[in-house]
Structures are given as C-alpha cells and as structure tokens.
Structure 1
Amino acid sequence: MKRLLVFIAVFATCFAVSAQQRPQYTQYILNNFILNPAIAGIENYVDVKAGYRNQWQGLSGAPETSYLSVHAPIGKSFLYGTSTSVPQGGGTNPNSRSYLQNYMASEPHHGVGFTAVSDKAGPITRTDLNFNYAYHIGITEQINVSVGVAAGVSKIYLDRSQIILENPVDQAIGTGSYDQFKPDLSAGLWLYGPRYFAGVSAQQLLKSPIGFSDDPVAYSQGRKVPHLFATAGYKVYLGDDFAAIPSLLVKVVSPVPASVDANLKLAYKDRFWVGGSYRKDDAFAGMAGFNIGSLMNIGYSYDFTTSGLNTVSRGSHEIVLGLFLNNRYKVTCPQKSW
C-alpha cells in the first residue's frame, strides 16, 4: 500500500505541475484544432495532423502522448469553389504584406473533423475519440467567426501489473474492470482575420466520475474536470518575406493555478519557421519547422524543464507532422491558421 501511495503522490504532483488532466502541447500553434473544435474546416483542404510528445524524458512513468486529427470543410462552396476564398494556385504568400490586399473572409460553410488522442502516464492509459462539427460565417469582409462542438468517448485503463502492493487485496483499486468508458463533450468559439486569431474552448464538460475501487462509497472517486482554454495571436509583418507571430494560451483547470504559455513564431515565406515558448513555472522551449511543397509540413520542439522536476527530467520532445490532402489550390502554407 505504501508504494501505491507514493505513486499517487507523484502522479498528483505531475498533474499539479502540468495544471491539467488532458495532455500538454507545446506546438499548439501548429494545430489549435486539438484544443478547439470550432477550427474544423477552417482551411480549403483536408487537414491531417499526427503528433507525438515524450514529456519529462528520463522520469519513469512520465506522460507519453500520441494523437491524430483530421478536419475539412464541406458543402458546395468547397466542392465547386473555394470556401476559404483562396485563388486558384494557392494565392499569395500569407507571410507577405501583399496577402492583406487579397484576403477575404471565408464563405459561410460547415466543417467536420475527428480527433484520436492516446495519453499514458504511469499505469494509467487514456484514449479519447471525438467527432467534431463547426460552422464558419463572415461577419465583415475580412473577419470570420466560427462555433464548434465535439462529442465522443474516453477510455481509461489501469494496468495493475505496474503497481506493487503491500497487500495484494487492496480495495482502493479493487479487482473489477480494468477499463472505464466515459462520455466526452467539448465546445469552442473562434474569431479570425488576416492578421489575428482569438478563441475560447472548454473540454471535459461532462464531469464523469473516475475510480477503480470496488467500494466507491468507502473510497472517494476522482472526477473528470472541465478544462478551459483561451488563446490569441497576432501576425506582425517584418518585410515582404518575413512575419512574426506572437501568441498566448491560458489554461484554467480548477483547483490548480492557471497555466500560461507565451509563444513567438518567426516565419520565412511559406517555407520554414523557428520559434520559442515559455510556460510559466514549468519550461522554456525551442521550436522549428518547415513546409514541403503543397503536401506536408513538419514541426519539432524541445522543452527545457524549469520546475522542480528538472533534477530528474531531461526535457520533453514533441513532433507534429501535417498533410494537406485534396489540396486542389496547391496551398503551401496554411492561409487561415498559420
């Protein structure tokens, strides 16, 4: 029982440091869709992203996260034209000042998507599957707003073989089902224009109980808690070929303190970018990435841990691979989400 209590204490500390039950993402700027369902269908192609994160490398049982996301616009505006108002051939470089002269708000359209996230920490593995829907509408000639929802299921699995108990019969974790399935619901709002974006979203709106005890009355159960996200970014043109994109992400998960991420991305044309990130009381990060024609892009980040875990952690690695499918307008760089 003592070893179990030690593990629970360490696991609770990890949650307190990361300020969330859901996975941490350093490169959220590359795929805000993983946090906000309102982004579904924002571009005029099928946007596919796959990500992997190895957090706090060197710490036994530290979180490992993998995800796959897919989203696209639907409707006649997309099938027979361009719902996102990009000219044939991809338009102008979105990191150039001239892009502002050609930018138009997207035509009203629907977006659909799918996310699959697997997160493993110690003996607990969680898999989330969600289907997303969003609706985009122009409120001015250059500004869009979209609303979105996501619904799905969470599977939470406890691997008892990784837990060594002083007493093999421990009612705190019980002997029942290793798997738990819980419904999941998220919602979001997204505002975007040629030089800025801002959004709010909420995940885990259903406060489902979580526990592995055979006696939930005697042993209090945990619970999924809502996660609130607010993010904003602004594009600053530094010439005809360069742009700087500062952004901010605030995460609120009661009862732990709010988490704040500040990012800066420097992009050259539609070819490559570098950047840095600071997560309050947790880590600094360096990032880099590039676009490969009109087919794919790739980003990598490394977190330097600054919290108390830096004595045992060798940092965190994260990689994101993106594919532009059905890219009939040969877009080589995201036009609406950067």
Structure 2
Amino acid sequence: MRLINKYTLFVVLCYSFSIGLSGQDYTKSLIIPAVYNHYHLNPFVINPAHTGFENVNRLLFNFRNHWAGFDDSPKAITLGINGSPVKNMGLGGLIYSESYGAANRFVGQANYAYHFSAGENNKMGLGLSGTYNQYKLGNEVITDPLHEGPDVLINESVEGEKFFGADLGFWAEFGNKFKLGITLPQIVLTRLDNKKLDGDKPFNFIGFFGATWDVPEYRVSLEPSILLRKVSDVPFGTDLNILAKMLDDRLYAGFTYSFGPSDSRVSFLGGVRIDRLRVYYSYDQTYQTFQTFNNGSHELSLSFDIMGSRKNTNTKPMNHVEEMNQQ
C-alpha cells in the first residue's frame, strides 16, 4: 500500500505541475522557489532585499507539511538566519530541504542587501541572493521491486541535477505605513553539470504590497497585503492576506485567500510573541478534488532574535529613518 501511495503521489505531483506545462517544462517546474505561507511575517525568505531590513539578528525555523495524512506527501524544513552586522547592510542565509515521495530537493542560499533612506520616513533596500539547488530521486527507486533492470533515466535521476541560481530583490517601507516588495527569482539559472537547460528560461516575478493601520485604543495593528506570483510556467497566482497584531504585537491572527487559474485555497494563521521568541502556525485547505484525500497543509515557524541585535525588539519599532540616523 505504501508503494502504491508513492506512485499515486508522483502522478498527482505530475498532474499538479502539468497544468499549462509541456513535457520538457516539468523539469523546470521542480526548480520553482519554495512555497511559504508565512512570507509576510519573514519576508527575507522570498525577497533578499529584506535581509537585515529590521536591524535584528534573527534565527528562523520553518516546517511545512503539504497534504498531511497522505503517505509520502511533501514535507519541507527551512533553517535561516538574517541580520544587519553593520549600518545599511544585511547578510543572511537559508538551508532548505524538501522530500516528496522518492524525490528530494536541497537548496543552500546566501543573501546580501544594501539599505538606504529615501526622503523623510522612507527606507529602501536592494538585495541579491545566490543559490545552490540539487534535485534527485532517493536510492529506494533502484531497489524497488517494480524497478526492472538498468534504466538510464532513473540512474541519472538518482545522481541528481545541480543548478546555480541568483535572485534580485527590492524592498521599501514608506513612513511605517506601506510596504512594497519586488523579487525577480532566478534571473540567473544554470546547470552545474555543463548541460543546457531545455527550452527558454521563463520569466519569474513576485510582487508584494502591504499596509499597516494602527488602532491604539484597542492595542491592535491591522496589516492587509497582496502577493502576486508568476514563477516558471506555473499558472499566475494571487494571495490576499489580512494579519492582526494584538496586545502590542504579542498575539497574531491572520487569514489568507489564494487563487489562480488552477487552484484556490484558504489559510488560517495564529501566533504569539514571548520576549525574543515568535511562534506562528497556519493551516490551509484547497478547493481541489484532491483535498478529499488529505487533511490539509500545516506550517510552523519559530523565530528567535539573537543577542546583539541593533534595536530593542521588545518595543514598538521606531521610524526607519530615525533608526538609521541614530546609528
């Protein structure tokens, strides 16, 4: 039964990615950036320009279980760190590991960002990241009883494919009121085995816009936002988010509605901040038929502000320009 589920999952993954994809584009679809629900809480995971933007040295752990309850469903772990070691500079990195059935993906990423003020109460940043990507099948596909004799394609898949990629990002915050982010994932993408990528490299784009409204009499801050995503040849997608920060940013609640030509889903988020520690959890369900075969998706994020951060995280963040002028 477990073996059957592995192949069922593989078929489902192929179908999910094949909407709008040609056969040779399937390989490119495996190279799409990692999917996170909590990107609006930790923007540096999707935009290198946000690295160190808050002048806080922060550790991040993220775990996502996609299609929970279905054997060998995709599971991903992210370990990250980002901070601002010196004025106007952000440095960070990510390690990402994902498994889905017999397929495995590993990503190592390094981020650099330069921040600057642009007029009164405005702060902006430009960022660049370099990534090492490896995609392969586990050795169990060779020892599987259904595998008969040598298969060149399977053997090559077990050895894996390795890529180098580079992302470019821009992030801006205006008067602690509005946020704007633009990411161009994989503006550079090349294989490390001297083989050429099949077909033309698709255009990738992630756009984010958010706002903040404080309601001081209720100690609540509301942050609506929208994210537009077009990566690889996967259909265009949109996220509509609303995040509420309550009790002086100690309690969080959020909702996301995501939609596109091939899928739509809803996500519910809750979180808490205890001194330097932040814990976020979200649960989402899709409106696809496959939802009847799984228990939805779960995501957990833990972040911890390290000693030596260049601002006090227990108080309301000061104006970004004032912050830079005090350094």
TM range (shorter): 0.7 to 0.9
CA distance change for structure 1 residues 261 and 22 in 2, over 3 Å: closer, same or farther?
A: same
- 1:199 is aligned to 2:181: yes
- 1:236 is aligned to 2:213: yes
Residue in 2 that maps onto 1:316: 297
Distance 1:13 1:336 in 2: 48
| Gapped regions of structure 1 (runs ≥ 5) | 78-108
SS of the equivalent of 1:74 reads coil
Residues 15-65 of structure 1 show CA distances to partners (whole Å, capped at 9, x for unaligned) of 358x87332211111111000000111122202111000011122332111
Residue type at the aligned position of 2:91: V
Distance 2:7 2:310 in 1: 56
Residue in 1 that maps onto 2:152: 171
Residue in 1 that maps onto 2:163: 182
1:146: how far off? 0.6
Residue in 2 that maps onto 1:55: 66
Moved more, 228-237 or 57-66: 57-66
Quick one: which of 6, 20, 36 aligns to 1:25?
36
Residue in 2 that maps onto 1:140: 119
- 1:253 is aligned to 2:235: no
Quick one: which of 73, 91, 97 aligns to 1:118?
97
CA distance change for structure 1 residues 237 and 44 in 2, over 3 Å: closer, same or farther?
A: same
Distance 2:311 2:189 in 1: 43
Please list, as runs of the form range in 1=range in 2, the aligned pairs for 1:1-338 lying within 5 A after superposition: 9-15=11-17, 21-75=32-86, 77=87, 109-162=88-141, 164=144, 165=146, 167-174=148-155, 178-193=159-174, 194-208=176-190, 227-240=204-217, 241-268=219-246, 269-280=248-259, 281-293=263-275, 295-325=276-306, 326-327=308-309, 329-332=311-314, 335=317
Residues 99-150 of structure 1 show CA distances to partners (whole Å, capped at 9, x for unaligned) of xxxxxxxxxx111111111121221111111111100111011111110000
Contact kept, 8 Å, 2:6 with 2:72, in 1: the verdict is no
Contact kept, 8 Å, 1:205 with 1:225, in 2: the verdict is no
Moved more, 169-178 or 122-131: 169-178
Question: What is the TM-score normalised by the length of structure 2?
Answer: 0.80
1:12: how far off? 1.9
SS of the equivalent of 2:150 reads coil
Moved more, 66-75 or 32-41: 66-75
Residue in 2 that maps onto 1:105: none
Compare relative contact order (CA 8 Å, sep 6+) and give the higher one, 1 or 2: 1
Percent identity of the aligned residues? Answer: 24
Question: What is the TM-score normalised by the length of structure 1?
Answer: 0.78
SS of the equivalent of 1:38 reads helix
| Gapped regions of structure 2 (runs ≥ 5) | 20-28, 320-327
Residue type at the aligned position of 2:239: D
Contact kept, 8 Å, 1:273 with 1:289, in 2: the verdict is yes
Give the number of equivalent residue pairs: 296
Residue in 2 that maps onto 1:92: none
Contact kept, 8 Å, 2:81 with 2:94, in 1: the verdict is yes
Contact kept, 8 Å, 1:68 with 1:117, in 2: the verdict is yes
CA-based RMSD of the aligned residues comes to 3.1
Residue type at the aligned position of 1:297: R
